[in-house]
Chains A and B, each alone.
Chain A
Amino acid sequence: MSSAPITHLPSEPIVVIEPRSSWKALDLSELWAYRELMYFLTWRDVKVRYKQTFLGVAWAVIQPLFTMIIFSLFFGRLGGMESRTGGLPYPLFAYAGLLPWTFFSNALTASGNSLVGNANLITKVYFPRLIVPTAAVAAGLIDFAIGFVMLVVLMLYYQTPLTLNLLMIPVLVFLITVLATGVGMWLSALNVKYRDIRFALPFVIQLWMFISPIIYPTEILPPKYHWLFSLNPLTGIIEAFRSALFGRPFNWTSLSISAVLTLLSLVYAGFSFSRVERRFADIV
């Protein structure tokens, strides 16, 4: 392994280290340069998660499936939600909501705690810090994909007709991933400064589920409050997810609001993250 000695140096420095101004936008080209590290961190998260579990990857199915069964019993049967899903079998309705929700909530928890959890890396090695919360979200996508297989099985079982609406699925998965990344990255930065986040997060996530149309359709709410609910970016995405799966008409207004809010959350998170980023190593 002999490589040629460096004979001449570049005339311009490769890296210049200077005090940073607070409001520098995130350097996306650098993020691209470190894509392999992102891949390895995602891979690590997935690998480690199921390494010592008996059921392994099956957990990716068990989690939404069992929640669906319990919800079908309590909300579907006992809560009388069965008749209000617009003709859809409640288990299918619930699972189609729980699958993206499980991804979203797991991604939020994982990325919210990611910077603090990887403090040993942050204080010892340089890389774009954004990789850490992003990789945590990406790891959740693997679970989502596995859970999706179960969804297909359920759809076949209930003989759901396939429509062109299904083409929207990738767009929706992209949207919810971006939303999870935005919120998760903001939370992870906040968590470095205020350790309250760790305790507040499970609670906030639980609340968020009940204000999103996971276990109930938006239609059961009084129409005059629908606009209020569509301010929750998850509302539009999850509704559209069901529309795409079950060939029902899309609520484009609600989905557009979600898309705009998602984008805004990402931009805001990006700025607030980069503002705190330079001090991570000093305070984490």
Chain B
Amino acid sequence: MEINSIIKVDNLGKQYRLGVDTAPYSTIREVVMDTLKAPLRSLRRNGSDPTIWALRDVSFEIQAGEIVGIIGRNGAGKSTLLKILSRITHPTVGRVQLFGRVASLLEVGTGFHPELTGRENIFLNGSILGMSKTEIESKFDEIIAFAEIEKFIDTPVKRYSSGMYVRLAFAVAAHLEPEILIVDEVLAVGDYAFQQKCLDKMQDVSTHGRTVLIVSHNMGAISRLCQRCILLDKGTVLTIGKPSTVIEAYVAGGAQNRAEYLQPSSFDKDINLRRVAVIDEHGEVRNEVGYADVPRLLVEYEVNRVVKGVSVGLAVFTIDGTCAFVSADLDAQPELLNGRVPGMYVAEIELPAAWLNVGRYTVTATIASAAGGGTVYDNLEVLVFNVVDTGSPGSRFGIERKGILQPILVWTTTTRDT
């Protein structure tokens, strides 16, 4: 490691005590009652309470001027790490040394007050983020211009559209000039053009020698912006390295129980589901599939008695409940309509690569009468999987394309003589 690390993190750990810290707050009555009911337990509670380590043995160093991405699944400890670095919460063990002024942006528009005008909120928010009054005054015009809200500067922000609100909030933040900037998933807001502007502004920040630490689920943005990447998993650092390598490790380590559901055999049903899973081409269960990969959906079911006119279907929904598509085994094998002999069955479909858009999807498997509207023999709607960005067309321009699909289509462009 070089000597000019601007952030040094040594063996950092944060422990939460379940049942004490996780309960948002207590009332005096509860405390009194607990003590009365079990005076002894409250004495030895410190030792016996279940605890979890949200972060453990985390060590890394960051050089001045680097842009470093932090990725990991929900609950991996990303937010806890950022909160410790931002001094919002204290670590249980370990040490962080910061060799520069820190500003953290864990939320867009922290402290904005709806009753105050845009002008007033710029001053309030700016000072909350650590800017001095003179600093805000000198950048005031620039902030308004960046946010594109000149006309509404003296309107209370409660009358702003959500777009204007976000633009103003980010404009203030983008004009912070700390040596270390900590950013948490704030790129997920705003319209695409404005997001792009913010990304540019951020890159601008680091070319001025500032250090940026950024948490994002947007792998496109991470791989484009960052020079290094840290992968957290269950509170520990799994990998540190080049974004492309770390993102790959992140995608590959996607096996999680939610992408697979097992159900015990039940002989009293004529036909029942035993296993539904999202798998990759090697048959490994995957919670995350790369945009460019070929995901497969697998259904295993058992037939105990011959039933006719039944179809086994799979449906994929976006996370907001829109159905992306439905597919049934009868589509390819109509003869199954005549009935299946008792036994175990494995059915699999393959989704095209570079087809589903980046995002989160749920899978439902259904065994029902093919005519529709009839009997449902078995139904499972518990699977979740993510399509993560491994180079979608949109990510090349740093934007998230709309739509359930993001196919790469053949464009033919020719010039025409007039």
Interface residues of A (CB under 8 A from B): 1-10, 13-20, 36-37, 39-41, 43-44, 47-48, 51-52, 120-127, 192-196, 278-279, 281-284
Which residue on A lies nearest to B129, using beta carbons? Answer: A125
With A9-B64, A44-B124, A123-B88 as given contacts, are A16 and B110 in contact (CB-CB < 8 Å)? no
With A13-B97, A126-B88 as given contacts, are A192 and B25 in contact (CB-CB < 8 Å)? yes
Contacts of B96 in A (CB 8 A): 15-18
With A48-B113, A196-B27 as given contacts, are A37 and B127 in contact (CB-CB < 8 Å)? yes
Instruction: Give residues of chain B (85-103) contacting chain A, Cβ–Cβ below 8 Å.
Output: 85-102
Residue B356 at the A interface, CB < 8 A? no
What is the number of residues of chain B that contact chain A, defined by CB distance less than 8 Å? 60
- Looking at B35-43, B115-123, B260-268, B366-374, the stretch in contact with chain A turns out to be B115-123
Give the CA-CA distance A196 to B26 in the complex, in Å: 9
Give the CA-CA distance A16 to B91 in the complex, in Å: 11
B28 near A196 with CB under 8 A, answer: yes
Which residue on A lies nearest to B100, using beta carbons? Answer: A14
Give the number of A-B contacts (CB < 8 Å).
144
Instruction: Give residues of chain B (56-95) contacting chain A, Cβ–Cβ below 8 Å.
Output: 64-65, 83-95
Contacts of B139 in A (CB 8 A): 1
How distant is A139 from chain B, measured CB to nearest CB, in Å?
13
How distant is A174 from chain B, measured CB to nearest CB, in Å?
25
A5 near B65 with CB under 8 A, answer: yes
A37, A52, A192 interface centre (most CB from chain B within 10 Å): A37
6 contacts between A and B (CB under 8 A): A16-B98, A17-B85, A51-B116, A125-B110, A126-B102, A195-B25
How distant is A75 from chain B, measured CB to nearest CB, in Å?
34
With A6-B65, A40-B123, A126-B88 as given contacts, are A13 and B21 in contact (CB-CB < 8 Å)? no
B179 near A196 with CB under 8 A, answer: no
Residue B257 at the A interface, CB < 8 A? no
With A40-B127, A192-B25 as given contacts, are A281 and B208 in contact (CB-CB < 8 Å)? no
Give the CA-CA distance A190 to B128 in the complex, in Å: 24
Give the CA-CA distance A182 to B64 in the complex, in Å: 42
B209 near A124 with CB under 8 A, answer: no
Residue B53 at the A interface, CB < 8 A? no
Contacts of A5 in B (CB 8 A): 65, 208-209
Give the CA-CA distance A4 to B113 in the complex, in Å: 34
B208 near A37 with CB under 8 A, answer: no
Could you mark each residue 122-166 of chain B with 1 if its beta carbon is under 8 Å from any beta carbon of chain A, else 0?
A: 011001111011000001001000000000000010000000000
B209 near A6 with CB under 8 A, answer: yes
B116 contacts which of A37, A44, A127, A194 (Cβ < 8 Å)?
A: A44
Residue B317 at the A interface, CB < 8 A? no
Contacts of A3 in B (CB 8 A): 177, 208
Residue B6 at the A interface, CB < 8 A? yes
A16 contacts which of B6, B97, B115, B209 (Cβ < 8 Å)?
A: B97
Contacts of B179 in A (CB 8 A): 6
With A40-B128, A47-B120, A125-B128 as given contacts, are A283 and B87 in contact (CB-CB < 8 Å)? no
Contacts of B403 in A (CB 8 A): none
Contacts of B124 in A (CB 8 A): 40-41, 43-44
Which residue on B lies nearest to A1, using beta carbons? Answer: B142
With A6-B210, A40-B123, A120-B111 as given contacts, are A13 and B99 in contact (CB-CB < 8 Å)? yes
How distant is A14 from chain B, measured CB to nearest CB, in Å?
6
B21 near A14 with CB under 8 A, answer: no
With A17-B87, A17-B98, A282-B89 as given contacts, are A44 and B65 in contact (CB-CB < 8 Å)? no
Which residue on A lies nearest to B23, using beta carbons? Answer: A283
Contacts of B6 in A (CB 8 A): 6, 9
Which residue on A lies nearest to B156, using beta carbons? Answer: A51
Residue B355 at the A interface, CB < 8 A? no
A36, A120, A192 interface centre (most CB from chain B within 10 Å): A36
How distant is A5 from chain B, measured CB to nearest CB, in Å?
3
Top 7 closest A-B pairs, CB basis?
A5-B209, A13-B97, A17-B96, A126-B87, A15-B98, A6-B209, A40-B127
B127 near A194 with CB under 8 A, answer: no
B106 near A124 with CB under 8 A, answer: yes
B90, B113, B177 interface centre (most CB from chain A within 10 Å): B90
B86 contacts which of A9, A20, A126 (Cβ < 8 Å)?
A: A126
B21 near A282 with CB under 8 A, answer: yes
Contacts of A43 in B (CB 8 A): 124
Give the CA-CA distance A43 to B111 in the complex, in Å: 13
Contacts of B113 in A (CB 8 A): 44, 48
B90 near A126 with CB under 8 A, answer: no
Q: A5-B208, A36-B127 are in contact. List 9 more A-B contacts (CB 8 A).
A: A6-B65, A9-B99, A16-B95, A120-B111, A121-B128, A124-B107, A194-B27, A279-B90, A282-B21
A126 near B104 with CB under 8 A, answer: yes
With A36-B133, A40-B123 as given contacts, are A17 and B31 in contact (CB-CB < 8 Å)? no
A15 near B102 with CB under 8 A, answer: yes
Residue B16 at the A interface, CB < 8 A? yes
Give the CA-CA distance A122 to B94 in the complex, in Å: 23
Contacts of A40 in B (CB 8 A): 123-124, 127-128
B98 near A13 with CB under 8 A, answer: yes
How distant is B210 from chain A, measured CB to nearest CB, in Å?
7
Which residue on B lies nearest to A278, using beta carbons? Answer: B90
How distant is A3 from chain B, measured CB to nearest CB, in Å?
6
Residue B47 at the A interface, CB < 8 A? no
With A127-B128, A194-B27 as given contacts, are A19 and B92 in contact (CB-CB < 8 Å)? yes
Give the CA-CA distance A37 to B94 in the complex, in Å: 30
B25 near A193 with CB under 8 A, answer: yes
Contacts of B26 in A (CB 8 A): 193-194
Give the CA-CA distance A70 to B8 in the complex, in Å: 64
Residue B375 at the A interface, CB < 8 A? no
Give the CA-CA distance A120 to B114 in the complex, in Å: 14
